Amino acid sequence: MARTRSSSSIRWRYLNPAYYLKRPKRLALLFMAFVFVSFFVWDRQTLVREHEEELSKLKEEMDRLQNELGELRHEGGVPVKKMNTTTKRTDVTKMDGLATDPIEDQRREKVKDAMIHAWTSYEKYAWGHDELQPQSKNGVDSFGGLGATLIDSLDTLYIMGLDEQFQRAREWVANSLDFNKNYDASVFETTIRVVGGLLSAYDLSGDNVFLEKAKDIADRLLPAWDTPSGIPYNIINLAHGNAHNPGWTGGDSILADSGTEQLEFIALTQRTGEAKYQQKVENVILELKKNFPADGLLPIYINPHRGTPSHSTITFGAMGDSFYEYLLKVWIQGNRTAEVKHYREMWETSMKGLLSLVRRTAPSSFTYISEKIGNSLIDKMDELACFAPGMIALGSSGYGPGDSTKFLNLAEELAWTCYNFYQSTPTKLAGENYFFHSGQDMTVGTSWNILRPETVESLFYLWRLTGNKTYQDWGWNIFQAFEKNSRVEAGYVGLKDVSTLSIILKSARVNTGVKDNMMQSFFLAETLKYLYLLFSPPSVISLDEWVFNTEAHPLKIVSRGGNSKPNIRLRGFITRPKKINKIEVDDHSQRAVTTALWCNFLVFSLKFGVWLFTSSHVMLAEVVHSVADFANQALLLYGLRSSKRAPDALHPYGYSKERFVWSLISAVGIFCLGSGATIVNGVQNLWTSQPPGNIMYAALVIGGSFIIEGASLAVAVHAVRKGAAAEGMKVRDYVWRGHDPTSVAVMTEDGAAVTGLLIAAGSLVAVNLTGNPIYDPIGSIIVGNLLGVVAIFLIQRNRHALIGRAIDDHDMKRVLEFLKNDPVVDSVYDCKSEVIGPGFFRFKAEIDFNGAILFQDAAKEKDETEMLKVMSFYGEEVVTALGSEVDRLEKEIQEIVPGIRHVDIEAHNPIIPPP
């Protein structure tokens, strides 16, 4: 009895690889279908990515124009030496037109509602007082009646768009804020809340009333630094200027209180042009640096007379925390330049010490930072120390790849511990500190909660730096716990005990925790602001443009001495790289590559089909040629896209040379192999070849391929002409030494493809007319040699591009001529240039500056009184003048040769001759 196959088994055979191995033509068709679908999907994804990149570039350009407009609006009222840091509302929020997550939008609005509730309660019951007592509905002056909550909230109101509330607060600052009070104020608290809050309001709004008030209170604080060592006393009378330390410190100054004024006072110097503020606070760091320990960990007490540490606790919690935070943030505030390098070095030293304090619990392996007294570690961590995960994450990008990953992982582990400070209690709110015991993970120590922001702060930084939405979810859970436990009719209050168990009444869970009677000003300044930003797009108060003080007041980042002043080291490099968000790629080159890619795929499909029917050796050579062309275009396109990546820490000059790498790989790996395989195939069949069949089909395909390849060649030729015109070169010269070989490579390959088709056609015609099949393999050998010639040409072109050619002689002569004729330049030595991308260069020169001209510029238009100041600050004035001249030289060099993107000018040392 004969067996018949079921219909299901017949269908399943198409999934059996053996089926296709026995049928090579179907295997070829399946392969072609797979390639076509893959490239179709890839092309769709590419189009989406390109669209997103275009939107991003348009948005960056819009932001840049808005920044320039804001600067122009405020330019008239800002003295020359002051920094214009104000910005428009659109530059702060930057949410218009952005596609935002509906969940984030909803959460952000809930946080805004919380801010409105807190602020409205303050306005109603405590207006003008330092803090609100929500339970008793009255105000209290915890900081001497300086309106601490009002000033602390200014930037939060502005960022959230609460304009009416902001204007009412502004009027109070202008008309009612008076610092002439016979009150012993904390230098630290007054600086971070009042000076920081006013400066932030100024940076955001541009209203000079905030800057004048900030200057007033800072002048009243300055006498605190008048100590033998420059380490400030921590308490000062605002009316009389009498400074002292609290009695309970034994006469010592507190580390955090003495090392957490740098951001605010440096910013004040930048905005007023008065050096006294910056000098006072930077002297503190220089004094501490003299006795800075090898592990970078300082005790919390410092002797203000000797400037030396006293034997006391080492902690990243209370009284130590923000000192380490400001070491990092002053480096960021200073644009990470050499002038603030010592801050980063001290911070990195402290991070090595922090690693020695890191421990892990059992059984849950929570990571925590212990405290230290002498050589003994204490298994205790304050909630205040939960700022550390955010600080570590923020500073991780300044390390190399290995250390960067290590510290970012540590930050995430610590954040998990801090989040569990909240989740481990019945109220889901954290206590003030925690102890760790073997086998017990963590237990609450001091169990109150006063609405602190540190954990939310770290979640904000980690979300911004990693994009991990888990941190948003954790922040939302913490916010809900505040809403459930701390919200009352007249604001928000803390809890006296977060560990109080909940009870169930009538099927409802009710928290029995006893509430306190204080709405801390930092709840509005920090906690709610960080929560709002946690659910806002990253462009809202961008970390690239702003740095937060320890009270969460954002300060605009500007270079030391001004936006236009470069980083200057008289015996080093003066580097003023032009900011490049993306290395622009010539659209014509990309269009040429994309056109060639799809044309070659179509031609390959046609040739492959004809070869299956004719078995022609020359057609096989053409198939190999098309495969080589197609793969080459794919690699070129990948290289073009990779070269668009923005510069980073590892590649400060960008990735634009990556296109040359992939082009070289294609030339060596594909064309050489393709050339060799084609020649070998032709040689092997010289004496055994048979006349190809179905020559008519081959002729039709060759004709169609000729039209397609010709069209692609026309696009490539157009791109080459555009490139030559852009560089002011003849097409012939551009082909051999143009700075972007991409379009040249496409033109060369397409030209070879058209030529190869003509050779194939000639071979088949010769076979058809003479009946001698030897012309078929001869054509294959000729095509193979043609591939080899193209490969050698492309290898040479990309080799020169990768090695790094100099700019053209005539451009270099123009730059040198300009420098030698400039009055501020005495001599020019050791000029070098290097290609860093298609049409982009780096230029370096060693220059003798004319000191007399520099001093004349520094002293220009100054009367005798001003000249005395010039002589007093001679070094600063000359360096400022030198910076201005370098900035001018750079700008004019880039106008002469627009392709120069980076200018490195080194001041010549006449003692040591240049190499």
Which active-site residues does the annotation give? 189, 321, 432, 454
Cα Dmax for the chain: 122
Give the CA distances from residue 419 to residues 201, 385, 473, 478, 908, in Å, rounded to whole numbers and listed in that order. Answer: 31, 12, 11, 8, 55
**CA dihedral for 512, 514, 517, 523, sign (positive or negative):** negative
Asked if 369 contacts 316 with a C-beta cutoff of 8 angstroms, the reply is yes
Asked if 825 contacts 850 with a C-beta cutoff of 8 angstroms, the reply is yes
Within 8 A by CB and 6+ apart from 402, the residues are: none
H helices of 208-306, in order, are: 208-221, 255-258, 262-272, 276-290
Asked if 764 contacts 616 with a C-beta cutoff of 8 angstroms, the reply is yes
Asked if 137 contacts 184 with a C-beta cutoff of 8 angstroms, the reply is no
Q: What angle do CA 855, 860, 861 make, to 5 degrees?
A: 160
Our CA dihedral for 208, 213, 216, 222, rounded to 10 degrees, sits at -100
Region class of 884: left (phi > 0), else alpha (psi between -120 and 50), else beta: alpha
Amino acid of residue 481:
A
Tokens of 637: 């396109």
Q: What is the DSSP string of 10-32?
A: HHHGGG-HHHHHT-HHHHHHHHH
Residue with tokens 């009027």: 171
Among residues 715, 711, 712, 749, the alpha carbon closest in space to that of 626 is found at: 749
Residue with tokens 């056609």: 761
User: Sheet holding 184-186: strands in order across?
Assistant: 184-186, 235-237, 243-244
Residues 434, 383: Cα–Cα separation, whole Å:
8
Give the H/E segment covering residue 902: strand 900-907
Q: Which three-class secondary structure state does DSSP give residue 647? A: coil
Asked if 798 contacts 667 with a C-beta cutoff of 8 angstroms, the reply is yes
Backbone angles phi, psi at 327, to 5 degrees: -60, -45
Residues 11, 83: Cα–Cα separation, whole Å:
76
Our CA dihedral for 709, 642, 653, 649, rounded to 10 degrees, sits at 180
> Given the DSSP bridges, would you call strands 900-907 and 840-849 parallel, antiparallel or unpaired?
parallel
595 annotated to bind ligand:
no
Computed on alpha carbons and rounded to an integer, the radius of gyration of the chain in Å comes to 35
Tokens of 562: 């001004």
Residue with tokens 């619990």: 361
Amino acid of residue 267:
A
Give the CA distances from residue 39 to residues 81, 597, 671, 709, in Å, rounded to whole numbers and listed in that order. Answer: 57, 10, 22, 19
Within 8 A by CB and 6+ apart from 87, the residues are: 67, 70, 203, 204, 206, 556
Q: Any idea what DSSP says for residue 436? A: E
Say how many C-beta atoms besides its own lie within 10 A of residue 309's C-beta: 20
Asked if 835 contacts 841 with a C-beta cutoff of 8 angstroms, the reply is yes
Say how many C-beta atoms besides its own lie within 10 A of residue 554's C-beta: 24
- Whether omega for the bond prior to residue 647 falls within 30 degrees of 0, making it cis, is no
Among residues 693, 682, 685, the alpha carbon closest in space to that of 612 is found at: 693
Within 8 A by CB and 6+ apart from 368, the residues are: 358, 359, 360, 361, 379, 381, 414, 417, 434, 436, 442
Show binding-site residues. Answer: 550
Q: Binding site for Ca(2+): residue ranges? A: 550
